[in-house]
Structure 1
Amino acid sequence: MKLIGSFTSAYVRKARVVLAEKKLDYQFELENVWAPETKIVASNPLGKVPCLVMEDGSTMYDSRVIAEYLDTLTPVCKLLPANSRDRANVKVWEALADGVLDAAVLAYLERTWRPGEQQSQAWFDRQMGKVHGGLAVMAENLGEQPFCMGIHYTLADVAVGCTLGWLSFRFPDIDWRSAYPNLARLFDKLSERPSFKDTVPRTH
């Protein structure tokens, strides 16, 4: 298998963490989807990463689909429960984490890519409202549990950890650690796992 991605994307990081937790061998191919010479559309018509390329040349995207597929390949470190309700709850956690990330990425692009005179403060505030609202619900649902789903490490934790890591990377001014100490404890615990240590966001 080959994973096409970048070192900065939290969505790519999610796929890389799952690959590491599942102990699956793969080739990692760096791709800058923003570069004029990017070839990502040859693998993913949406022009996004991560993109998983199978041995037969077929491709799979996005991160949620990739993570769910990878979890079926080996019984090592099962990240999605077999029980339908528990499985759905994990996917809701993942959707919440990805939703916070989606909004944060849009806010980041608004502030860093769009010329100042074209930026919309209302648009930025709307996205950041989603970020802060999502973080509050994450913290409330986590409570004092060791992991998102209780005592078991799941894909929910992977998704939440990748989102929190990206917020620290791109929005260091958001003090979510002080606001939500239980999320900080979870993130610190996840950050000790080799899968997270080896995939810390970086620009190069």
Structure 2
Amino acid sequence: MIAARLFGSPTSPFVRKVRVLLLEAGLSEKVCFERIDPRDTTTELRARNPLGKVPTFLCEEGSLFDSGVICEWICDRNIEAGHLLPAGRRWRILTTQALADGLLDAGLLVRQEELREPSARSDTWIAEQTDRMRAAIASLDKDVAWRDSDIDLGQIAVACALGWMNFRLPRIDWETAYPQLAEWFNSIASRPSLVATRPG
């Protein structure tokens, strides 16, 4: 991979997923991480991604987004990252990633709603999205096959999602309800790639 650029916020779990993947593949030094506020319409981000969202990845093929597309491209186009999305487990790994991303989507919706004025806030909406989060976490706890192998893209996605939950929505307290999943998370969270990208 020739020199590339990654637009993102250090607190975004989707950006963190890409950064962890790059670190695990030994490719981070080939990518310039450019901290950016996606709400700022004056930055280069809007010219590169019409949605104005992060992460956005600039490489020899142009602008890539979202995080799933970026991670697949990195794994497919760079031999150093191939072990993070091996062909034999590709679809299971991508499905695990999708579950983790869905957990994050629901969590982000809850956080956005909770930041609204109390008079405009929908407790029903918050409850519905919280139920989705809890269902996703329960599924990750019950189906242990996804975490029985060496680290891969799916595990990275889950680690970033659960880390974001602890950072932004600690009231969910999923670790108390699922101690085995918490044990796995605490173990993977000690990896240098996750320590280096920890939000906060």
State whether TM-score is above 0.5: yes
Look up the SS of the partner of 2:150 in the other structure: coil
2-structure distance, mates of 1:199, 1:126: 30
Between the two proteins, the alignment pairs up a number of residues equal to 194
Question: Are residues 1:126 and 2:128 paired?
Answer: yes
Q: Which residue of 2 aligns with 1:2?
A: 5
Of residues 55, 61, 65, the one that matches 1:61 is: 65
Structure 2: tracts of 5 or more residues without a match: none
- CA pair 38-109 structure 1, distance change in 2 beyond 3 A: farther
Question: Paired residue for 1:153, among 118, 139, 151?
Answer: 151
| AA partner of residue 131 (structure 1) | M
Q: Which residue of 2 aligns with 1:41?
A: 46
Give the partner amino acid of 1:10.
P
- Aligned to 2:53, the other structure's residue is in SS state coil
1:107 aligns with 2:110: yes
TM norm structure 1: 0.90
Equivalence for 1:89: 92
- The TM-score with structure 2 as length reference comes to 0.92
CA-CA distance at 1:151 after TM superposition? 2.6
Alpha-carbon distance in structure 2 between the residues aligned to 1:119 and 1:169 = 22
Q: Which amino acid aligns with 2:70?
A: I
Alpha-carbon offset, residue 55 of structure 1: 4.2
1:192 and 1:139 map into 2 onto residues whose CA distance is 19
73-82 vs 185-194, greater mean Cα deviation = 73-82
List 4+ stretches of structure 1 deviating above 6 A: none
Q: Deviations over 1:67-123 (max 9, x none)?
A: 11111233335111212xx211111100000000000000001101x2221111111
* Partner residue, 2:56: 51
Distance in 2, matches of 1:93 and 1:30, equals 27
Q: After TM superposition, give the deviation of residue 178 of structure 1 in Å.
A: 1.1
Note if contact 1:3-1:29 (Cα within 8 Å) is conserved in structure 2.
Answer: yes
Identity of aligned residues (%): 38
Deviation sequence 1:27-77 (CA, Å, 0-9, x none): 011111123545422111111100001146x10000001011111233335
